[in-house]
Amino acid sequence: MIENIKPMDIEKRSFEIISELLGDKVLDPQNELVIKRAIHTTADFDYADNLVFSENAVAKGIEALRSGCDIVTDTQMAKSGINKTILGKLGGTVHCFMSDADVAEEAKQRGITRAIVSMERAAALPKPCIFAIGNAPTALIALHGMIEAGKLSPALIIGVPVGFVNVVESKEALFAACAAHGVPAIAAMGRKGGSNVAAAICNALIYSASEMLDPAARGWRG
């Protein structure tokens, strides 16, 4: 039977269904909202198992957002999916350098990916940043190198690129480097992920930081 749901109640009902379908599975209360929003975005319950979190990563991400940090993404799709209005109210903005003509030119001249050049540009930003990577494993590899060299200390890294080439390896290497250097991290281990997942995790943190988990608080009306 088709449910008659008001627009403002669709998200709430979706999360109720997710909780029902998770059954007896117990999620860490600190990470629950992030995991459920990833599932909400993808309808993929594997994220209940493959999302891993460094200690207090969610709390540290929320704290950084409340302090006005920016977000860096590796795709315009992720940038589009992040709620920039609410992020702006917290004092932050979203950066994506992937489409910049000078980034493409430099990458071509150096024989490297645009993602690497983009991460180098982002490392020079004057504000603390959350890095949300949903597409390019080379972005994670670049971040790994800068963290290991002591050149970068992000507020949080969200490492959820999707695919086959260096995807698993880059996530594992980055998560280990973050653990070794005290950088908060959230990663989707394995091959799954994507720009939509990166944006969903960012939004979970943004809504928590702004105390707008209720869709009505974000302007939804029935």
Catalytic amino acids? 40
| Contact status, residue 96 vs residue 79, Cβ threshold 8 Å | yes
| SS3 (DSSP) at 72 | strand
Give the whole-angstrom CA distance, residue 102 versus residue 170: 26
Which of 1, 7, 2, 34 has its CA nearest to residue 18? 34
Contact residues for 163 (Cβ-Cβ < 8 A; gap 6+):
135, 137, 191
C-alpha 92/C-alpha 208 separation (Å) is 15
